[in-house]
Each structure stands twice: as C-alpha cells, then as structure tokens.
Chains A and B, each alone.
Chain A
Amino acid sequence: MNGWLDVIDGGLGNAIQDAGRYGYRHMGVAVSGFLDPVFAACANALVGNAGDAAAIEIRGVGPSFKVRQGPVRVALTGALSASILRHGGSRQDLDAWHSATLEAGDILKCGAVDGGTAYLAVSGGIDVLPQLGSRATYQRAGIGGIDGRLLASGDALPCRRLSHNEYREYRADPWQHAEGPIRVMSGPQADHFADGELERLLATPYRVTRDSDRMGMRLEGPALAHRSPAHADIVSDAVTPGTLQVPGNGQPILLLADCQTVGGYPKIATVIRADLPRLAQCRAGDPLRFTAVDLPEALAIQHRETERLARWQNGIGTYLPAGYLDEAALYTCNLIDGMVRAEPPIRD
C-alpha cells in the first residue's frame, strides 16, 4: 500500500529533484537534479532510501504537507527545521539530520532555509512518474517532478508507506562539506584569456551575487581579460555544471545543474564534480576562492568524498523520539541521547 503526502503549501522555490536526467543532453535537455547530491543522499539515507531517490529540494520558504496515507518516514538535511503537528493535536520539532515518522493526518511544516539548499526525503522517495528517465524537475521544458514546475498546494506526492511503525528514528551528525578553496580544472578555453588571467582567478576571491538560480551564479570580482575582444566569443560548444564561463564584461558565470547544454562564452575553468555540492550551499555575498587541480587529483578527491559519505552513512544512529512514549519518562531516563547502533538503518 502506498503512502501519500498532500501539499498544503508549496512554499517558494521548492521542487522534486533526483540524481538528474542523463542521455538527453544532445537534444538540449539540461541534466537538472540535486544541486547538492550529498545533502540529498544524506536525507535519503536517514529514511532508508538509496541516495539518488527523488526528494524535495528546498531553496526558499519551505513547503507544508499533510499525510493522507501513512505511516511515512521523513528526514531533513541542510539549514532548515520543521515542526510536526500530530493529528492528535500535539506539536513536535523536527531538526535537520533527524528522521521522524508521520501518521495519516499529521502535518509537517518546513521552515525557511537559512541560506543554501536543503532536502526533505520521504520513505520510498517521491514516486511521481519519471519523464525522460528522471523525476528531476526541469522548469524550462516543463518536464519531471509535477508537470515540470515548483511544488504547489494541492499536489499529491506518492511515496512508500512503512509496513509498521517501529518507534525508533534515525539521526546523524550534520555532513561537513570540504573546506578551503573550490577546486577547478583549467580549460577548456583558458587560452582565450590574456596571460596571467587564470592566475588572477585563482588568487582573488569572487563574490556570489544575488543574480543566482539553479542555472548558474553570476560572480563578481576583478574582470578577467580575454586575449582580444574576438576571444570573448567562441563558436558555441558544450558546457556542463561547474563550468566557469566569462562573457565580454570579464565577470565569470558559474553554471549549475539546470544550465544550458551549450554556450558561446569562453570557459576559463571548470569546478570539479566533488565540489559542486559546496556551490549549492553558497549564499549571495559569499566569497569564493578557487584553486587548480589536475584530472588525477580531481578523481582522487572524488574517490575520497565517496568514501567519506559511506563512513557518514555508517555513523547513522537510532534514537527514541519524544511523542510516542511517555515523554516525561524519556526525559528523566535520558534515553534520547543514546546512539543505539552504529550501522545503517534497517530498512522497514
């Protein structure tokens, strides 16, 4: 039997995403998908899903849901918290990096994201029909998610119902993204820039401007000079999330998940795959510093991050939530702090 969530309030800027839509870029279809695949994988792990299961990506004012069929397990990751209004009338807080189980009639109200990108994962993943092989919302073409658009009140989100309510919940330490400069590989058109301009990009912080969305972030800093005015345009070729393209005004644009598949500006450098999730957590005004790595280094970093995520997942523990049992007794017994087992959650 299925679980169902009804969207009471879509909030602002929230949509269904998954690991992205591959195999259609030659038709001009963006990859889309999670801006921060690591935070999304963490949220999914906390509810027992595979890391790439479809989840709600929250970028602004969070959405609210009422459970039509439960129980369903939910978890949040990112700079966000939520409150649960039980159908019996009691109220509970749900912090990020924790799961909760919701029964039919319960209401989950997410707060606003305090910058960056947050995720709400639901047991079984958001089970809308995939389009072109993916559930990722791609607004420009109106595909994926629900009619290719942001969440809105009245939407019904199918998921998987837990076969039983096991009382335990899951939690883990907040994931810490890597620190230090954002790592890039130079090129493919670094030779379109005047001597020393790549070094300038690597030596100076660039600020994230408000002109940022899922397609890309405009950065602001010292203008990067092309070798000549003619070098400011290229015969259009392919771009990818992470591409740092520089139009004639010299201010770089950092492309993200919903970016076009091709572009006509020279690309001075490209952010490596392992650091793309960090970009999703940037806020307007944040300074970005860059450093260059080569392909073997980039692959080694990616490998280490994959292993680190596996270790994080092994650190997921269980706890007994307040609400189901006698709360007063739980508080006096101090059971809530106990990490019961250091192993992945048992799937329901």
Chain B
Amino acid sequence: MTTSSYDTPRLLPLGDSAWTVEFARHIDPAVHGRVMALDALVNDARQHDPAFAGIVDTVPTFRSLTVHFRPDPDPLALGERLLTLARSTEATTLDGRHWLLPACFDADFAPDLAAVAERHGMTPAAVVELLCQTAFRVYMIGFMPGFPYMGGLPACLHTPRLSTPRKLVPARSIAIAGEMCAVYPWPSPGGWNLLGRTPLDLFVAGDNPPALLASGDCVHWRAVDRGEYSRIERALASGELHRQHFLSGAPA
C-alpha cells in the first residue's frame, strides 16, 4: 500500500446517502489538515449554498471527510461540488482548541502502566513524563460518543493492543494502542492499554457541545495526584467547575 497522498482527492460513494472524500490512505497531520479544511469549507457552504442544503452530517476522520445527505436536492451535483472544494483545500496548520487536561496515573487507574514501561525499557515515571510532554492531535471522534482518537504518541511508546481485551474498561480511562492515545467516555469492553484516568467526562448530553473534544483539537496531559483528581471530579460534579476551564490559550 502506498503511504503518499493521492495526486487528487478521491470521491467514494458510501451508498446513496453519503460521499466520502478521501485524501490519502495513511495517517498524517498534513492529510488531516486538509480534511479539517474541507470540513470547514463544507460547513460554511451549508449556510448559504443551496447545493449543500441536503447535508445532514459531516464526519472528519484521519484521512477523509464523509458527508451524509438527504436525497434532495441533487446528490450527484453535491459530489461534484465536494470534489471541486477538496481539490482546492490546502493542508492547514492545526487550529483547533488547545486543552490542558488533568490525568491521574495512580496504579489502580493505570493497570497497564508497569507492563508498558517494562516493554519499552522505561520506568513508569518516565512513561508518564513522556505522555505529559506530548501534544496529542485529535484526529477523529468515533467508536462511541466522545471517544477521541489522538495521534502523536512518541514512537518509543507505540504498543499493541492487549492480546485479551478487558470485559470492562472504567469510564474516563486514558489508554494507548498502536500509535494512538484515547479516553473511554463510558465503561466499555476494550483492548487498549490503560495508563491513567482523567476526572473530566468526555461526553455530557446536556452540555453544548456534548463532546469535550473535537476533531482538530490539541490535547496535553497534566499529571495530578489522587487528591487533586478527586477535588476536580467533585468540583465538576457540583457545577463549581466547568469542562471549558481546561482550555488553554496556546501550546507550551
């Protein structure tokens, strides 16, 4: 398989209710930059261009944008317009929001930290330090509501999934697999390596927007001890603190 971007974006039908505009086969920040640029263009066009009026959802992923539409007004014309827009998109620099999110790496929140450290010949403390120095890029939200697929994990921490997935991963667990980092919004079965936990909910249906993170966002982890973790958790639950509090102005 090629690891380069296509010479020109591909327009793929996802049945008769969606188009996928694909820029490349591989994961790459520059490719994702074009995806996000196209997403912005399409959502802008929805506001004023009748050809885009049938769009019901746009879903940015690692290397493509999927545009879900109703049968009206004209899906074929919409596809052509999408392709034209896609050809005009340039890779943009990451301009999503920046987050500095608390993470507690206590042993009972991080059942796989010791094994991951050992696998890579590091101490658990060194793994945590590396995680906290990394700028993670949210490539897409999927698998379950609010679940962020975040790239940027240093190569020396790339780790395969567990050979036997857990039946139950606790909510808000911070996890890595392959070259990705993620957070489980809900208790769920899962095969990723659990390295810590955040006191923030990743998806709150009553909040606007419900999902904490969005495709294009940048996430830094800040290590907190168990006491601070609990204080933040309580403050969020009581409404004293809001999730937006953890937005940071610019990356360090």
Which A residues lie at the B interface, using CB under 8 A? 22-30, 131-132, 140-143, 184-185, 187-189, 230-231, 234-240, 242-243, 260-262, 267, 270-273, 295-296, 298-299, 302-303
User: Which of B92-100, B106-114, B135-143, B152-160 interfaces with chain A?
Assistant: B135-143
CB distance A132 to B210 under 8 Å?
A: yes
CB distance B18 to A260 under 8 Å?
A: no
Between-chain CB contacts (< 8 Å), 25 pairs = A22-B68, A23-B57, A25-B68, A28-B143, A29-B145, A131-B205, A187-B12, A187-B14, A234-B25, A235-B27, A236-B142, A237-B20, A237-B61, A237-B66, A238-B14, A238-B59, A238-B64, A238-B66, A260-B142, A261-B59, A261-B141, A262-B59, A262-B140, A299-B16, A302-B16
CB distance B62 to A235 under 8 Å?
A: yes
How many whole Å from B98's CB to the nearest CB in chain A?
19
Residues of B within 8 A of A189 (CB): 12
Known: A26-B214, A295-B75, A302-B71. A243 touches B205 (CB 8 A): no
- Bound: A243/B15 CA distance, A: 8
Q: Which residue of A lies closest to B71 (CB)?
A: A302
CB distance B215 to A303 under 8 Å?
A: no
CB distance B62 to A239 under 8 Å?
A: no
Most buried by B among A140, A235, A243: A235
Residues of A within 8 A of B22 (CB): 188, 237
Interface of B is mostly: loop
CB distance B20 to A188 under 8 Å?
A: yes
Q: Which residue of A lies closest to B215 (CB)?
A: A26
Known: A236-B140, A237-B20. A140 touches B145 (CB 8 A): yes
CB distance B16 to A27 under 8 Å?
A: no
Most buried by A among B68, B146, B214: B68
- Bound: A299/B13 CA distance, A: 13
How many whole Å from A232's CB to the nearest CB in chain B?
12
How many whole Å from A202's CB to the nearest CB in chain B?
15
Choose from A132, A184, A236 the contact partner of B61 (Cβ within 8 Å).
A236
How many whole Å from B173's CB to the nearest CB in chain A?
16
A23-B57, A295-B75 given; name 19 further pairs at CB < 8 Å. Answer: A27-B211, A27-B214, A28-B145, A28-B203, A143-B205, A185-B15, A188-B13, A235-B63, A237-B20, A237-B63, A237-B66, A240-B14, A240-B66, A242-B15, A262-B140, A295-B13, A299-B75, A302-B71, A303-B71
How many whole Å from A245's CB to the nearest CB in chain B?
11
How many whole Å from A31's CB to the nearest CB in chain B?
8
CB distance B13 to A270 under 8 Å?
A: yes
How many whole Å from B25's CB to the nearest CB in chain A?
7
Residues of B within 8 A of A273 (CB): 15-17, 71
Q: Which residue of B lies closest to A227 (CB)?
A: B1
Q: B26 on the interface (CB 8 Å rule)? A: yes
Which B residues lie at the A interface, using CB under 8 A? 1, 12-18, 20, 22, 25-27, 56-64, 66, 68, 71, 75-76, 140-147, 149, 186, 203, 205, 209-211, 214-215
CB distance B64 to A295 under 8 Å?
A: no
| The 6 residue pairs across chains A and B that have the minimum distance between CB atoms | A270-B15, A262-B142, A238-B66, A188-B12, A298-B16, A27-B211
Residues of B within 8 A of A25 (CB): 57, 59, 68
Residues of B within 8 A of A187 (CB): 12-14
How many whole Å from B188's CB to the nearest CB in chain A?
9
- Bound: A262/B142 CA distance, A: 6
Known: A243-B14, A303-B71. A27 touches B61 (CB 8 A): no
Residues of A within 8 A of B56 (CB): 22-23
Residues of B within 8 A of A242 (CB): 15, 17
CB distance B143 to A260 under 8 Å?
A: yes
Known: A22-B56, A235-B62. A141 touches B186 (CB 8 A): yes
Residues of A within 8 A of B61 (CB): 235-238, 262
Residues of B within 8 A of A143 (CB): 205
- Bound: A189/B64 CA distance, A: 13
- Bound: A141/B141 CA distance, A: 14
Q: Which residue of B lies closest to A25 (CB)?
A: B57
CB distance A26 to B58 under 8 Å?
A: yes
Residues of B within 8 A of A230 (CB): 1
- Bound: A234/B22 CA distance, A: 12
Residues of B within 8 A of A231 (CB): 1
CB distance B20 to A238 under 8 Å?
A: yes
How many whole Å from A271's CB to the nearest CB in chain B?
7
How many whole Å from A221's CB to the nearest CB in chain B?
20
Residues of A within 8 A of B16 (CB): 185, 270, 272-273, 295, 298-299, 302
Residues of A within 8 A of B15 (CB): 184-185, 240, 242-243, 270-273, 298
Q: Which residue of A lies closest to B149 (CB)?
A: A236
Q: Which residue of A lies closest to B10 (CB)?
A: A188
Known: A23-B56, A262-B59. A188 touches B14 (CB 8 A): yes
- Bound: A238/B184 CA distance, A: 19
Choose from A140, A237, A240, A303 the contact partner of B17 (Cβ within 8 Å).
A240
